[in-house]
Structure 1
Amino acid sequence: MRLPNDVLKTQDWIIDDIVPDFDVEDVWALPAEGGAHDFPAVVQAQDSLDFPAAAPLPVRLLWGIRDLLGRAFGLGRISTSADAAGAWPSVPGTGEPSLRARLPEDLRDTSPASPFTDKPFRPLYRTDTELAQEISNRTMYGVMHLAWVDQGSGRYRAQMTVYVKPRGTFGKAYMAFIKPFRYAIVYPALMRHFERTWSKQH
Protein backbone atom coordinates (compact mmCIF):
# COMPACT_ATOMS: atom_id res chain seq x y z
CA MET A 1 0.00 0.00 0.00
CA ARG A 2 1.33 3.42 -0.91
CA LEU A 3 1.62 5.85 1.99
CA PRO A 4 1.65 9.65 1.90
CA ASN A 5 5.19 11.01 1.85
CA ASP A 6 4.35 13.09 4.91
CA VAL A 7 4.39 9.93 7.02
CA LEU A 8 8.18 10.34 7.13
CA LYS A 9 7.77 13.54 9.15
CA THR A 10 6.65 11.44 12.11
CA GLN A 11 9.59 9.06 11.81
CA ASP A 12 13.29 9.43 12.57
CA TRP A 13 15.73 7.51 10.37
CA ILE A 14 19.47 7.66 9.77
CA ILE A 15 18.82 8.04 6.05
CA ASP A 16 17.34 11.51 6.72
CA ASP A 17 20.84 12.83 7.40
CA ILE A 18 22.37 11.00 4.42
CA VAL A 19 20.10 12.26 1.63
CA PRO A 20 18.84 15.75 2.60
CA ASP A 21 19.34 16.85 -1.02
CA PHE A 22 17.24 13.97 -2.44
CA ASP A 23 13.51 13.91 -3.18
CA VAL A 24 11.16 11.36 -1.64
CA GLU A 25 9.72 9.62 -4.69
CA ASP A 26 7.30 7.40 -2.79
CA VAL A 27 6.71 5.49 0.46
CA TRP A 28 5.21 2.01 0.68
CA ALA A 29 3.89 -0.11 3.52
CA LEU A 30 5.13 -3.60 2.72
CA PRO A 31 2.97 -6.65 3.49
CA ALA A 32 5.23 -7.79 6.35
CA GLU A 33 4.64 -7.45 10.09
CA GLY A 34 6.33 -8.93 13.12
CA GLY A 35 8.10 -8.32 16.39
CA ALA A 36 10.96 -6.02 17.26
CA HIS A 37 13.64 -8.52 16.26
CA ASP A 38 12.13 -9.67 12.95
CA PHE A 39 13.75 -7.10 10.64
CA PRO A 40 16.40 -9.60 9.45
CA ALA A 41 13.54 -11.71 8.09
CA VAL A 42 12.32 -8.71 6.08
CA VAL A 43 15.79 -8.25 4.62
CA GLN A 44 15.95 -11.95 3.81
CA ALA A 45 12.58 -11.75 2.06
CA GLN A 46 13.75 -8.80 0.00
CA ASP A 47 17.01 -10.53 -0.89
CA SER A 48 15.18 -13.64 -2.06
CA LEU A 49 12.70 -11.85 -4.34
CA ASP A 50 12.79 -13.26 -7.85
CA PHE A 51 11.63 -10.00 -9.35
CA PRO A 52 11.05 -9.19 -12.15
CA ALA A 53 11.93 -12.67 -13.45
CA ALA A 54 8.88 -14.18 -11.70
CA ALA A 55 6.67 -11.14 -12.24
CA PRO A 56 3.71 -11.00 -14.65
CA LEU A 57 4.42 -10.51 -18.34
CA PRO A 58 3.66 -6.75 -18.41
CA VAL A 59 6.34 -6.14 -15.77
CA ARG A 60 8.90 -8.25 -17.60
CA LEU A 61 8.12 -6.42 -20.84
CA LEU A 62 8.64 -3.04 -19.18
CA TRP A 63 11.95 -4.25 -17.74
CA GLY A 64 13.03 -5.49 -21.14
CA ILE A 65 12.11 -2.23 -22.85
CA ARG A 66 14.00 -0.24 -20.21
CA ASP A 67 17.10 -2.38 -20.73
CA LEU A 68 16.88 -1.92 -24.50
CA LEU A 69 16.64 1.85 -24.04
CA GLY A 70 19.50 1.70 -21.58
CA ARG A 71 21.75 0.00 -24.09
CA ALA A 72 20.63 2.18 -27.00
CA PHE A 73 20.97 5.54 -25.25
CA GLY A 74 23.59 4.79 -22.61
CA LEU A 75 21.17 5.16 -19.71
CA GLY A 76 22.50 2.14 -17.83
CA ARG A 77 20.90 -1.28 -17.48
CA ILE A 78 18.52 -2.27 -14.67
CA SER A 79 18.57 -6.06 -15.07
CA THR A 80 22.12 -6.75 -14.01
CA SER A 81 24.40 -6.29 -11.03
CA ALA A 82 25.94 -2.92 -10.23
CA ASP A 83 29.38 -4.15 -11.28
CA ALA A 84 28.06 -5.28 -14.67
CA ALA A 85 25.74 -2.33 -15.31
CA GLY A 86 28.41 -0.09 -16.76
CA ALA A 87 29.30 3.42 -15.67
CA TRP A 88 28.33 4.52 -12.15
CA PRO A 89 27.76 8.29 -12.47
CA SER A 90 28.42 10.41 -9.39
CA VAL A 91 25.71 11.96 -7.23
CA PRO A 92 24.18 14.82 -9.29
CA GLY A 93 25.55 18.22 -8.39
CA THR A 94 28.49 16.74 -6.50
CA GLY A 95 31.67 14.86 -7.24
CA GLU A 96 30.69 12.08 -4.85
CA PRO A 97 31.09 8.63 -6.46
CA SER A 98 28.94 7.12 -3.70
CA LEU A 99 26.90 8.13 -0.67
CA ARG A 100 29.15 6.02 1.55
CA ALA A 101 31.30 9.04 2.39
CA ARG A 102 28.23 10.65 4.00
CA LEU A 103 27.79 7.75 6.42
CA PRO A 104 28.94 7.88 10.02
CA GLU A 105 32.15 5.89 10.36
CA ASP A 106 30.49 3.14 12.39
CA LEU A 107 27.98 2.39 9.61
CA ARG A 108 30.30 2.09 6.61
CA ASP A 109 30.86 -1.65 6.88
CA THR A 110 27.52 -2.74 8.28
CA SER A 111 25.87 -3.99 5.09
CA PRO A 112 27.12 -7.08 3.27
CA ALA A 113 27.59 -7.13 -0.47
CA SER A 114 24.35 -6.92 -2.41
CA PRO A 115 22.90 -10.37 -3.17
CA PHE A 116 21.34 -9.07 -6.39
CA THR A 117 22.79 -10.32 -9.66
CA ASP A 118 19.91 -8.86 -11.69
CA LYS A 119 19.55 -5.39 -10.12
CA PRO A 120 22.24 -2.68 -10.03
CA PHE A 121 22.15 -1.85 -6.30
CA ARG A 122 25.12 -1.29 -4.02
CA PRO A 123 24.83 -1.61 -0.23
CA LEU A 124 25.06 1.48 1.97
CA TYR A 125 24.31 0.48 5.55
CA ARG A 126 22.25 -1.76 7.77
CA THR A 127 21.05 -1.45 11.36
CA ASP A 128 18.49 -3.34 13.46
CA THR A 129 15.69 -1.33 11.85
CA GLU A 130 17.08 0.09 8.58
CA LEU A 131 18.66 -1.06 5.33
CA ALA A 132 19.77 1.30 2.55
CA GLN A 133 21.07 0.50 -0.93
CA GLU A 134 22.08 2.96 -3.66
CA ILE A 135 21.63 2.89 -7.41
CA SER A 136 23.00 5.17 -10.13
CA ASN A 137 22.41 5.57 -13.85
CA ARG A 138 22.24 8.33 -16.46
CA THR A 139 18.75 9.44 -15.39
CA MET A 140 19.05 9.68 -11.61
CA TYR A 141 20.82 8.67 -8.40
CA GLY A 142 18.57 6.77 -6.03
CA VAL A 143 18.33 5.05 -2.67
CA MET A 144 16.06 2.17 -1.72
CA HIS A 145 15.43 2.33 2.04
CA LEU A 146 13.81 -0.45 4.06
CA ALA A 147 12.66 0.30 7.59
CA TRP A 148 11.04 -1.57 10.47
CA VAL A 149 8.38 0.81 11.80
CA ASP A 150 7.16 0.56 15.39
CA GLN A 151 3.36 0.25 15.40
CA GLY A 152 3.04 0.04 19.17
CA SER A 153 2.19 -2.92 21.40
CA GLY A 154 5.34 -4.72 20.27
CA ARG A 155 4.32 -4.88 16.62
CA TYR A 156 6.36 -3.63 13.66
CA ARG A 157 5.64 -3.15 9.95
CA ALA A 158 8.01 -3.07 7.00
CA GLN A 159 8.23 0.13 5.00
CA MET A 160 10.05 0.95 1.77
CA THR A 161 10.97 4.47 0.73
CA VAL A 162 12.50 5.47 -2.59
CA TYR A 163 14.71 8.57 -2.63
CA VAL A 164 15.86 10.07 -5.93
CA LYS A 165 18.02 12.87 -7.25
CA PRO A 166 17.24 13.28 -10.97
CA ARG A 167 19.94 14.30 -13.43
CA GLY A 168 18.73 17.65 -14.73
CA THR A 169 15.69 18.27 -16.89
CA PHE A 170 16.00 14.97 -18.72
CA GLY A 171 16.13 13.00 -15.48
CA LYS A 172 13.06 14.77 -14.13
CA ALA A 173 11.16 14.19 -17.37
CA TYR A 174 12.14 10.52 -17.39
CA MET A 175 11.00 9.99 -13.79
CA ALA A 176 7.69 11.70 -14.56
CA PHE A 177 7.23 9.57 -17.69
CA ILE A 178 7.73 6.22 -15.93
CA LYS A 179 5.73 7.07 -12.81
CA PRO A 180 2.33 5.93 -14.17
CA PHE A 181 3.84 2.59 -15.22
CA ARG A 182 5.47 2.12 -11.84
CA TYR A 183 2.25 2.81 -9.95
CA ALA A 184 -0.11 0.92 -12.26
CA ILE A 185 2.01 -2.12 -13.11
CA VAL A 186 5.34 -2.50 -11.33
CA TYR A 187 4.57 -1.74 -7.70
CA PRO A 188 1.29 -3.69 -7.45
CA ALA A 189 3.11 -6.74 -8.84
CA LEU A 190 6.04 -6.17 -6.48
CA MET A 191 3.74 -5.95 -3.44
CA ARG A 192 1.99 -9.20 -4.37
CA HIS A 193 5.33 -10.91 -4.96
CA PHE A 194 6.71 -9.69 -1.64
CA GLU A 195 3.56 -10.84 0.17
CA ARG A 196 3.88 -14.35 -1.29
CA THR A 197 7.55 -14.51 -0.36
CA TRP A 198 6.88 -13.30 3.18
CA SER A 199 4.00 -15.75 3.62
CA LYS A 200 6.21 -18.67 2.59
CA GLN A 201 8.76 -17.68 5.21
CA HIS A 202 6.13 -17.29 7.92
Structure 2
Amino acid sequence: MRLPNTAHTSQPWRIHELTRDFQLEDVWALPTPGGPDEFPRLVRAVATGDPSNGSSPAVRALWAIRWKVGELLGWDGPDAGLGSRVPTLRDRFPADLRDTPSGPGFGTLPFTALYLLGDEWAAEIANRTMHGVMHLGWVPDGTGGHRGQMAVLVKPNGLLGTAYMAAIRPFRHLIVYPAAMRQIERAWQAGAGEPAPVHG
Protein backbone atom coordinates (compact mmCIF):
# COMPACT_ATOMS: atom_id res chain seq x y z
CA MET A 1 0.00 0.00 0.00
CA ARG A 2 1.32 3.44 -0.93
CA LEU A 3 1.72 5.87 1.92
CA PRO A 4 1.94 9.66 2.07
CA ASN A 5 5.45 11.09 1.99
CA THR A 6 5.09 12.12 5.62
CA ALA A 7 5.20 8.45 6.63
CA HIS A 8 8.87 8.64 5.68
CA THR A 9 9.76 12.26 6.35
CA SER A 10 8.28 12.24 9.88
CA GLN A 11 10.53 9.38 11.00
CA PRO A 12 13.94 10.14 12.55
CA TRP A 13 15.79 8.16 9.90
CA ARG A 14 19.51 8.76 9.35
CA ILE A 15 18.95 8.70 5.59
CA HIS A 16 17.49 12.23 5.73
CA GLU A 17 20.87 13.83 6.40
CA LEU A 18 22.43 12.01 3.42
CA THR A 19 19.76 12.72 0.79
CA ARG A 20 18.76 16.36 1.15
CA ASP A 21 19.29 16.87 -2.60
CA PHE A 22 17.23 13.79 -3.55
CA GLN A 23 13.51 13.62 -4.38
CA LEU A 24 11.25 11.30 -2.42
CA GLU A 25 9.51 9.30 -5.15
CA ASP A 26 7.48 6.71 -3.24
CA VAL A 27 6.71 5.38 0.23
CA TRP A 28 5.17 1.93 0.64
CA ALA A 29 3.91 -0.07 3.61
CA LEU A 30 5.29 -3.59 3.24
CA PRO A 31 3.11 -6.65 3.97
CA THR A 32 5.58 -7.94 6.55
CA PRO A 33 3.96 -8.03 10.00
CA GLY A 34 6.38 -9.05 12.72
CA GLY A 35 7.93 -8.49 16.08
CA PRO A 36 10.36 -5.78 17.12
CA ASP A 37 13.45 -7.89 16.33
CA GLU A 38 12.53 -9.16 12.86
CA PHE A 39 13.93 -6.32 10.78
CA PRO A 40 17.11 -8.23 9.78
CA ARG A 41 14.89 -10.91 8.23
CA LEU A 42 13.20 -8.29 6.06
CA VAL A 43 16.56 -6.89 4.97
CA ARG A 44 17.77 -10.33 3.95
CA ALA A 45 14.55 -11.07 2.05
CA VAL A 46 14.81 -7.85 0.04
CA ALA A 47 18.55 -8.21 -0.63
CA THR A 48 18.19 -11.76 -1.95
CA GLY A 49 14.99 -11.13 -3.93
CA ASP A 50 14.86 -10.86 -7.71
CA PRO A 51 11.88 -8.81 -8.94
CA SER A 52 12.90 -9.37 -12.56
CA ASN A 53 12.26 -13.10 -12.07
CA GLY A 54 8.95 -12.89 -10.23
CA SER A 55 5.66 -14.52 -11.09
CA SER A 56 4.22 -11.58 -13.05
CA PRO A 57 4.81 -11.84 -16.82
CA ALA A 58 4.27 -8.07 -17.14
CA VAL A 59 6.99 -7.31 -14.61
CA ARG A 60 9.41 -9.77 -16.21
CA ALA A 61 8.78 -8.13 -19.58
CA LEU A 62 9.31 -4.61 -18.21
CA TRP A 63 12.60 -5.59 -16.57
CA ALA A 64 13.78 -7.31 -19.75
CA ILE A 65 12.96 -4.20 -21.78
CA ARG A 66 14.72 -1.95 -19.26
CA TRP A 67 17.92 -4.01 -19.25
CA LYS A 68 17.96 -4.25 -23.05
CA VAL A 69 17.41 -0.49 -23.50
CA GLY A 70 20.08 0.20 -20.90
CA GLU A 71 22.50 -2.09 -22.74
CA LEU A 72 21.81 -0.48 -26.11
CA LEU A 73 22.11 3.09 -24.81
CA GLY A 74 24.99 2.47 -22.41
CA TRP A 75 23.01 3.49 -19.31
CA ASP A 76 24.48 0.85 -17.03
CA GLY A 77 28.14 0.75 -17.97
CA PRO A 78 30.92 0.95 -15.37
CA ASP A 79 31.50 4.63 -16.15
CA ALA A 80 27.84 5.43 -15.41
CA GLY A 81 27.63 4.23 -11.82
CA LEU A 82 28.85 4.77 -8.30
CA GLY A 83 32.40 6.02 -7.93
CA SER A 84 32.56 7.17 -11.56
CA ARG A 85 29.60 9.31 -12.62
CA VAL A 86 28.56 10.03 -9.03
CA PRO A 87 30.29 9.54 -5.68
CA THR A 88 28.81 7.06 -3.25
CA LEU A 89 26.70 8.41 -0.43
CA ARG A 90 29.17 6.78 1.96
CA ASP A 91 31.31 9.85 1.28
CA ARG A 92 28.65 11.87 3.11
CA PHE A 93 28.60 9.70 6.22
CA PRO A 94 28.99 11.53 9.52
CA ALA A 95 31.63 10.10 11.85
CA ASP A 96 29.20 7.92 13.81
CA LEU A 97 28.02 6.08 10.67
CA ARG A 98 31.43 5.35 9.15
CA ASP A 99 32.01 2.13 11.08
CA THR A 100 28.41 0.93 10.78
CA PRO A 101 27.99 -2.41 8.97
CA SER A 102 26.51 -2.06 5.49
CA GLY A 103 24.34 -5.15 5.75
CA PRO A 104 23.97 -7.97 3.22
CA GLY A 105 25.02 -7.72 -0.38
CA PHE A 106 22.50 -8.06 -3.19
CA GLY A 107 22.03 -11.27 -5.11
CA THR A 108 20.79 -9.91 -8.45
CA LEU A 109 19.88 -6.23 -8.24
CA PRO A 110 22.63 -3.67 -8.98
CA PHE A 111 22.36 -1.98 -5.58
CA THR A 112 25.18 -1.38 -3.09
CA ALA A 113 24.29 -1.51 0.60
CA LEU A 114 25.12 1.64 2.57
CA TYR A 115 24.38 0.96 6.23
CA LEU A 116 22.35 -1.27 8.51
CA LEU A 117 20.97 -0.11 11.85
CA GLY A 118 18.47 -1.72 14.21
CA ASP A 119 15.45 -0.36 12.35
CA GLU A 120 16.84 1.14 9.17
CA TRP A 121 18.72 -0.01 6.07
CA ALA A 122 19.70 1.86 2.92
CA ALA A 123 21.21 0.90 -0.42
CA GLU A 124 22.10 2.96 -3.49
CA ILE A 125 22.25 2.59 -7.24
CA ALA A 126 23.47 4.87 -10.03
CA ASN A 127 23.35 4.82 -13.82
CA ARG A 128 23.08 7.33 -16.66
CA THR A 129 19.50 8.24 -15.71
CA MET A 130 19.69 8.77 -11.96
CA HIS A 131 21.28 8.20 -8.55
CA GLY A 132 18.77 6.32 -6.42
CA VAL A 133 18.33 5.10 -2.86
CA MET A 134 16.14 2.29 -1.55
CA HIS A 135 15.44 2.77 2.14
CA LEU A 136 13.84 0.20 4.43
CA GLY A 137 12.56 0.97 7.90
CA TRP A 138 10.91 -1.08 10.64
CA VAL A 139 7.98 0.78 12.15
CA PRO A 140 5.19 0.13 14.69
CA ASP A 141 2.01 -0.93 12.88
CA GLY A 142 -0.46 0.60 15.34
CA THR A 143 -1.66 -2.79 16.63
CA GLY A 144 1.27 -3.67 18.89
CA GLY A 145 3.41 -5.20 16.15
CA HIS A 146 5.79 -3.91 13.51
CA ARG A 147 6.04 -3.91 9.72
CA GLY A 148 8.42 -2.88 7.02
CA GLN A 149 8.29 0.41 5.19
CA MET A 150 10.09 1.18 1.95
CA ALA A 151 10.99 4.56 0.50
CA VAL A 152 12.54 5.31 -2.89
CA LEU A 153 14.61 8.48 -3.25
CA VAL A 154 16.00 9.68 -6.55
CA LYS A 155 18.34 12.33 -7.91
CA PRO A 156 17.65 12.43 -11.68
CA ASN A 157 20.57 12.99 -14.04
CA GLY A 158 19.55 16.10 -15.98
CA LEU A 159 16.76 16.17 -18.56
CA LEU A 160 17.32 12.51 -19.46
CA GLY A 161 16.83 11.40 -15.87
CA THR A 162 13.80 13.63 -15.31
CA ALA A 163 12.12 12.39 -18.50
CA TYR A 164 12.96 8.77 -17.70
CA MET A 165 11.56 8.96 -14.16
CA ALA A 166 8.37 10.58 -15.46
CA ALA A 167 7.99 7.95 -18.18
CA ILE A 168 8.33 4.95 -15.86
CA ARG A 169 6.23 6.35 -12.99
CA PRO A 170 2.90 4.86 -14.14
CA PHE A 171 4.50 1.46 -14.75
CA ARG A 172 6.11 1.51 -11.30
CA HIS A 173 2.87 2.40 -9.54
CA LEU A 174 0.48 0.19 -11.50
CA ILE A 175 2.60 -2.88 -12.28
CA VAL A 176 6.06 -3.11 -10.74
CA TYR A 177 5.44 -2.16 -7.11
CA PRO A 178 2.15 -4.05 -6.65
CA ALA A 179 3.84 -7.19 -8.00
CA ALA A 180 6.86 -6.56 -5.77
CA MET A 181 4.58 -6.24 -2.73
CA ARG A 182 3.01 -9.63 -3.52
CA GLN A 183 6.45 -11.19 -3.97
CA ILE A 184 7.68 -9.73 -0.66
CA GLU A 185 4.53 -10.95 1.09
CA ARG A 186 4.96 -14.49 -0.24
CA ALA A 187 8.63 -14.56 0.76
CA TRP A 188 7.78 -13.20 4.22
CA GLN A 189 5.05 -15.77 4.81
CA ALA A 190 7.24 -18.60 3.54
CA GLY A 191 9.96 -17.62 6.01
CA ALA A 192 7.64 -17.05 8.96
CA GLY A 193 9.32 -19.77 10.99
CA GLU A 194 12.87 -18.55 10.45
CA PRO A 195 14.87 -17.01 13.27
CA ALA A 196 15.84 -13.41 12.68
CA PRO A 197 19.36 -13.45 11.17
CA VAL A 198 22.09 -11.16 12.40
CA HIS A 199 24.22 -9.37 9.82
CA GLY A 200 27.61 -7.95 10.68
Q: TM tier, shorter chain?
A: 0.7 to 0.9
Which residue does the alignment assign to 1:71?
A: 71
Which segment is superposed worse, 143-152 or 20-29?
A: 143-152
Which residue does the alignment assign to 1:60?
A: 60
State the secondary structure of the residue aligned to 1:37.
coil
Give the direction of change, closer, same or farther, for the CA distance of 1:152–1:27 in structure 2 (3 Å limit). same
Equivalent positions of 1:93-132 (< 5 A) are 97-108=87-98, 109-112=100-103, 114-116=105-107, 118-132=108-122
- State how many pairs are aligned: 191
What's the CA shift string for 1:73-102, capped at 9, x where partnerless? 1111xxxxxxxx5334469xxx85210011
Q: Which runs of 5+ in 2 are unaligned?
A: 193-200
What's the CA shift string for 1:140-183, capped at 9, x where partnerless? 00000000012356421100000000011111111000011111
Which residue does the alignment assign to 2:25?
A: 25
State the secondary structure of the residue aligned to 1:71.
helix
State the secondary structure of the residue aligned to 1:64.
helix
Q: Is 2:127 the partner of 1:137? A: yes
RMSD between superposed Cα atoms in Å: 2.0
Q: Provide the C-alpha distance between the structure 1 equivalents of 2:156 and 2:179, rounded to a whole number of angstroms.
A: 25
Q: Is 2:173 the partner of 1:183? A: yes
Give the drift of 1:7.
2.0
CA contact (8 A) 1:5 1:24 kept: yes
Give the direction of change, closer, same or farther, for the CA distance of 1:74–1:50 in structure 2 (3 Å limit). closer
State the secondary structure of the residue aligned to 1:111.
coil
Structure 1 outlier segments of 4+, above 6 Å: none
Greater strand proportion? 1
Structure 2 letter corresponding to 1:137: N
State the secondary structure of the residue aligned to 1:177.
helix
Q: Provide the C-alpha distance between the structure 1 equivalents of 2:47 and 2:168, rounded to a whole number of angstroms.
A: 24
- 2:162 pairs with one of 172, 184, 195: 172
Which residue does the alignment assign to 2:79?
A: 87
Q: Provide the C-alpha distance between the structure 2 equivalents of 1:50 and 1:113, rounded to a whole number of angstroms.
A: 15
Please, what TM-score do these two structures have when normalized by structure 1? 0.87
What's the CA shift string for 1:49-93, capped at 9, x where partnerless? 2322123111111111111110111111xxxxxxxx5334469xx
Structure 2 letter corresponding to 1:21: D
Which residue does the alignment assign to 1:16?
A: 16
Residue identity (%): 47
State the secondary structure of the residue aligned to 1:3.
coil
Give the direction of change, closer, same or farther, for the CA distance of 1:113–1:192 in structure 2 (3 Å limit). closer
Which segment is superposed worse, 152-161 or 10-19?
A: 152-161
Q: Which runs of 5+ in 1 are unaligned?
A: 77-84
Structure 1 letter corresponding to 2:168: I
CA contact (8 A) 2:82 2:125 kept: no
CA contact (8 A) 1:36 1:154 kept: no
